[in-house]
Amino acid sequence: MRRERMGRLALAAVALALLAAACGARTEGSAGPRASGALGVVTGADARRIVEGLCRLLGPAGADREEANAAFYDLAHDGLHRLAAAAQPVDPGAAGALLVAKERVEEDLGREELPPTLGRDAEALLAATREALRVVGLPAPDCPA
């Protein structure tokens, strides 16, 4: 009987420790909507950063190869991978469309000179991004003014 009670107390202590760790791990920056997949978490802040990078491709940065690559790879690229992974179990079609659109933009940016299709491909990627964000329940921000 005593051994059984000690076992229950130990189990309760472990459960409380896990609960405390989970609550303690939540930081101010992690508040708000989140989605996760095989590659990690996507937050509302990530969504804003991804969209900002894609919006820059549609603006003046889209005319300069260095600026376009910086906007895409510094702001959007990694987040797009995490977003696609988070969307995959919810809507594989949306995840696939996102990855295909991302690859088109990567091909455009990898060329010697930016092709005239970059703007159209960036618009398609932005639309696919917004759809994937909707699928995972994250806000899809507008382009900054």
Q: pLDDT (tens digit, 9 = 90+) per residue, 103-140?
A: 999 999 999 999 999 999 999 999 999 999 999 999 99
**How far apart are the C-alpha atoms of 24 and 15, rounded to whole Å?**
14
**How far apart are the C-alpha atoms of 38 and 17, rounded to whole Å?**
26
**Token digits for 81?**
């991978």
Q: How far from each other are the two terminal CA atoms of the chain, in whole angstroms?
A: 69
Counting Cα atoms < 13 Å in the Cβ hemisphere of 67 gives 10
Q: Pick the residue with more confidence: 63 or 15?
A: 63
Q: What is the pTM of this model?
A: 0.75
How much is the pLDDT for 15? 35
**How far apart are the C-alpha atoms of 138 and 145, rounded to whole Å?**
21
Flag the least confident range among 60-64, 78-82, 108-112, 116-120: 60-64
SS (H, E, C) 50-98: HHHHHHHHHCHHHHCHHHHHHHHHHHHHHHHHHHHHHHCCCCHHHHHHH
The overall average pLDDT reported for the chain is 80
Q: pLDDT (tens digit, 9 = 90+) per residue, 8-27?
A: 443 433 333 333 333 333 33
Q: Pick the residue with more confidence: 93 or 3?
A: 93
- Check if the beta carbon of residue 124 is closer than 8 Å to that of residue 108: no
How much is the pLDDT for 99? 96
